[in-house]
């Protein structure tokens, strides 16, 4: 992996994290049931990606590409439906903090499945960022009622997002380009997202006010196209461990955007947490990009040949 490719991948992930961080405050600003916005955002994202294919006259995804992307799409549709359900059943703090546990699953799975050799010494800086996220989330004012049921749903969200990342990495490693991946992933995601939205929202799906439609359309571009496209692009240029650790900055940034957009207050300890997140993410990113030398016979056996 060249240094220039790694740099481009890092830029893509920064854009993705910022876009994802904006999404929660924007959804809250819309004052519409979250799963309804998720439903229409999915449909609009399908239209956006396939519209892009038509305008650019790109070659349509092959049958093999659809097969490679299908598992990621199914898990993505499941993930977004579960996530918006959990948000309504537990506190935002619990939702976001449980989501930051993704690296604890993805890093070892990525190392096993893809034979990646992450710089394990960099993970200590990831732990700093996770501590910072905890401070941001748990030293703020309470916003929502936590429940065991909602927290358990978030564990399913954690599993479905991890599966999405793993299958995305597999499809990208097999040579599926970013546009083809997104053009396949979004429609397949509807297979799991639509039934859940119909069951959970019912008639609310078609009763969305103008502000809700505007937010759904904006999110179709902001997250459905830009953010997820950047993540899919970064999968081809960065280790999966780097991607997941960088995403731990998302909750802290979301708090900052909520202050700007919604006027929600930020306490001093939360600011300390944000600083820890930024320091941890920066240090992890720098250290993780250093090449890890292959184990020598001395390192492996403790003896010199």
Question: What is the share, in percent, of the chain residues with pLDDT greater than 90?
Answer: 13
55 within some domain = yes
Q: List, in order, residues 6 or more apart from 288 with CB less than 8 Å away.
A: 118, 119, 122, 239, 241, 242, 245
CA distance 265 to 273: 14
265 within some domain = no
For 93-102, 150-159, 223-232, which range has the lowest pLDDT when averaged over its residues?
A: 93-102
pLDDT band at 298, cuts 50/70/90? very low
Q: Tens digit of pLDDT for each residue in 90-144?
A: 766 667 777 777 776 777 777 777 776 666 676 777 788 788 777 876 776 655 5
The answer, yes or no, to whether residue 301 has pLDDT greater than 50, is no
Using an 8 Å Cβ cutoff, are 144 and 91 in contact? yes
Number of domains, the chain: 1
27 within some domain = yes
280 within some domain = no
91 within some domain = yes
Residue 164: what pLDDT? 92
Residue 89: what pLDDT? 74
What pTM, to 2 d.p., does this model score? 0.74
254 within some domain = no
266 within some domain = no
Identify how many contiguous H helices and E strands the chain contains and give both numbers: 14, 0
- Domain containing residue 36: 3-119+145-237
97 within some domain = yes
Q: Tens digit of pLDDT for each residue in 155-210?
A: 899 899 889 988 988 898 888 888 889 899 999 999 998 988 888 888 888 888 88
């Amino acid at each position: 992996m060249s240094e220039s490719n790694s740099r481009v991948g890092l830029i893509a992930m920064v854009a993705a994290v910022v876009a994802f961080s904006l999404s929660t405050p924007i959804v809250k600003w819309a004052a519409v049931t979250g799963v309804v916005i998720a439903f229409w955002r999915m449909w609009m994202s399908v239209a956006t990606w396939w519209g892009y294919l038509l305008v650019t006259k790109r070659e349509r995804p092959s049958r093999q590409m659809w097969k490679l992307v299908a598992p990621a799409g199914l898990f993505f549709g499941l993930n977004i439906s579960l996530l918006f359900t959990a948000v309504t059943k537990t506190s935002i703090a619990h939702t976001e903090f449980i989501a930051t546990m993704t690296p604890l699953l993805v890093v070892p799975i990525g190392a096993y499945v893809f034979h990646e050799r992450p710089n394990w010494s960099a993970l200590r800086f990831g732990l700093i960022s996770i501590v910072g996220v905890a401070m941001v989330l748990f030293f703020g004012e309470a916003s929502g009622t936590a429940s065991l049921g909602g927290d358990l749903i978030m564990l399913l969200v954690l599993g479905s997002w991890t599966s999405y990342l793993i299958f995305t990495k597999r499809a990208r490693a097999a040579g599926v380009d970013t546009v083809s991946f997104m053009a396949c992933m979004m429609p397949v995601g509807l297979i799991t997202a639509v039934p859940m939205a119909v069951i959970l929202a019912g008639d609310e799906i078609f009763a969305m006010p103008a502000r809700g439609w505007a937010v759904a359309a904006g999110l179709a571009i902001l997250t459905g196209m830009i953010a997820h496209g950047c993540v899919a692009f970064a999968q081809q240029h960065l280790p999966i461990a780097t991607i997941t650790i960088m995403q731990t900055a998302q909750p802290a940034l979301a708090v900052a955007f909520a202050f700007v957009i919604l006027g929600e207050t930020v306490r001093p300890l939360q600011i300390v947490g944000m600083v820890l997140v930024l320091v941890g993410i920066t240090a992890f990113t720098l250290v993780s990009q250093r090449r890890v030398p292959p184990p020598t016979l001395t390192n492996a056996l403790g003896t010199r040949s």
